[in-house]
Structure 1
Amino acid sequence: MDRRQLEYFLAIVQTGGFTSAGRRLRVAQPSLSQAIRALERDLGTPLFDRLGRGVGLTAAGEALVRPAKQVLRDFATARASVESVLGLTGGRLDIVALTTLAVDPLAALIGRFRAAHERVDVRVTDPELDNAVTGMVLEGDCELGLAESPGGVEGLDHLRLRDQEFFAVLPPGSAIDPAHPIEVAELAGWALVSTPEGTAMRTLVDRELGRCGAAPRVAVETTHRAAIVPLVLAGAGATVLPPRLAEDAAGRGAVVVPTTPRLVHGAVMMWRSGQLSPAARAFVELARLDETALPPAGTAGPTRSP
């Protein structure tokens, strides 16, 4: 078994077939098939069920996916560790983050990281559901993850980030005094624009309104997070957003109001226990220093529409 065979194996898993994997890897299909047959002989079992024009994983193939991802990441870490002797002169850092955390604090952290290590590329992935972040880090798809998550997940180390406050964001012209906080329970009386169940925004709203004995009325549900502010500006409903996004909405005419009690949720940066790549280690240390220097959440809110 070698690195090339595992790389070919994972490409077939990800693309669903030998032909598409060959195109992605720019490898002739006979060479790809030969490498997989050699891997199957070495392991003593088939890894794929041939299903017409596609393939499916056998039980053995399913069992190999996670270790294969980790082996390839270990290869990359080993290479990066050698290169780190001369400084972070290249490579890539993969991060998975909730959309709200990708805006703040991740965007600023990446900016500072890239200023110090301009030859390291950063890829940020947006999970389909918020609870997918932990799995993507555990499975080796991404080296770092940012999510609303408790610490102490087996197999993961973590750094707790500052709490993130959400603000009520109302359509332009709403008869609300932005200088006075809105009661969380009052949000139950608004038609809301929200992401689906299982996302951080929806979980926060459902949880906090539930504590008030109320249920949200989600009038517009969308997976297109970039559409939320335009929907609010168009009068489709109200929403809740973290400071950076709320500030942007206020600048475009929305009425932004703090809530009482404050809508706050925690956040962590997580990674697999054990050795980190030099790039990931540098990023974690940057975040650690950054969080000790930042003021607590809520000391400065977004600019509010008059």
Structure 2
Amino acid sequence: MEFRQMEYFLAVVENKGINGAAAALGVAQPTVSQALRGLERELGVRLFHRIGRGMVLSAAGRSLVGPSRQVLRDVAAAAEQLTASDGAIVGRLDIMAFPALTSGTIVDLIAEFCRRYPQARVRFSELEREDNLESLIRDGHCEFAVAHLPLEAGEGLEIVELGEQEYRLVYPAGTELPEGPVRLSEMPDIPMVFVPRGAAMGDAIEDSIRKAGTRTELAVVTEQRESRLPMVIAGLGGSLVERSVAKSMPGQVVERACEPRFLRAYGLAFDPSTLSPVGQVFVNLVHEYLSDESLPDESLPDERLPDERRSQH
């Protein structure tokens, strides 16, 4: 197995096909195809299922993604050692983030990192689930993960809180609401779209609405968190979603803060014992950035999940 083969394999994964991989790598499509076929022959397994013109990772292919990314980071770290004499920071930073958290602080951190270290590369991809962070990091799929807190971190993982995300009320366009925050006791009589019971923030929201004496009819209970806003836009009902999600469709929903506010902390998870040199530089930047940040506005009462702390070990 050659380094170039793994690089081409990951390019196909990350660019969703050979055409995209060839364009990203600046090589001809047959070069990528040949490297991929050679890797499959050498390993004796199919890494992709070819479906029409599309390519879907096989089980073997999925198991190779993490180790391949780890190899690329290790090679980049070795290259960094060779260039250390001129002070350049090179290498590859692999960060995965839950979709609702792909804005704000983490984007500011990545932008500052790229400004300071232009020779380093950053891969910023979507974290589909928050309950398997340990395996994603341990298996090399990413070096850092951004997720909601609190979370069950494995032994040895460090979590640094990056901030808090507010949840906002959203209703279909045209819904008449007074200006300013909406008290839970004064929510409009509109069915709601919620996630199933058992989700930490979802339970806190439902319990607070119930304690406020408001009886809300459920329009839809969806396990797909990302489907809440499209369902609101479609007119199925209202919901409470992350502020970044609520602000993502201006004009298509009516959104308001609620009182009390619902705030949920989120943070950066990583294994300090296996950080690459470029990863350690990023951690240093994170601590520097947070030490300069002022405390958030607490002018309104809020609801927080219990036992949230600035760092967990």
TM-score w.r.t. length of structure 1:
0.66
5-14 or 237-246, which moves further after superposition? 5-14
**Residue in structure 2 matching 1:174, options 173, 176, 186:** 176
Cα 1:88–1:271 change in 2 (3 A) is: farther
Q: Is the 1:93–1:121 Cα contact (8 Å) retained in structure 2?
A: yes
Cα 1:250–1:113 change in 2 (3 A) is: same
Aligned 1:1-306 pairs, distance under 5 A: 3-4=3-4, 26-27=31-32, 29=34, 66-88=66-88, 90-131=90-131, 133-149=133-149, 150=151, 152-170=153-171, 171-176=173-178, 178-179=180-181, 181-183=182-184, 190-193=190-193, 204-210=201-207, 217-219=218-220, 225=226, 228=229, 231-232=232-233, 236-246=236-246, 254-260=254-260, 262-299=261-298
Report the identity percentage. 24
Cα 1:7–1:192 change in 2 (3 A) is: same
Q: Is the 2:131–2:152 Cα contact (8 Å) retained in structure 1?
A: no
Letter of the 1:94 counterpart? D
Unaligned runs of 5+ in 2: 23-27, 301-313
Could you say what the CA RMSD is over the residues aligned between the two structures, in angstroms? 4.9
- Which one has a larger percent helix, Structure 1 or Structure 2? 1
70-79 or 140-149, which moves further after superposition? 70-79
Letter of the 1:140 counterpart? G
Q: Is the 2:193–2:231 Cα contact (8 Å) retained in structure 1?
A: no
Whole-angstrom distance in 2 between the partners of 1:6 and 1:212: 51
Cα 1:80–1:277 change in 2 (3 A) is: farther
Deviation at 1:269, TM superposition (A): 0.3
TM-score w.r.t. length of structure 2:
0.65
Deviation at 1:268, TM superposition (A): 1.6
The total of aligned residue pairs comes to: 285
Whole-angstrom distance in 2 between the partners of 1:52 and 1:229: 31
Secondary structure in structure 2 of the residue aligned to 1:254: strand
Deviation track 1:167-221 (CA, whole Å, cap 9, x = no partner) reads 2234555344525x522x7669543356x6699xx75224431466578725485
Secondary structure in structure 2 of the residue aligned to 1:80: helix
Secondary structure in structure 2 of the residue aligned to 1:136: helix
Letter of the 1:131 counterpart? D
Whole-angstrom distance in 2 between the partners of 1:132 and 1:106: 20
Unaligned runs of 5+ in 1: 41-45, 302-306
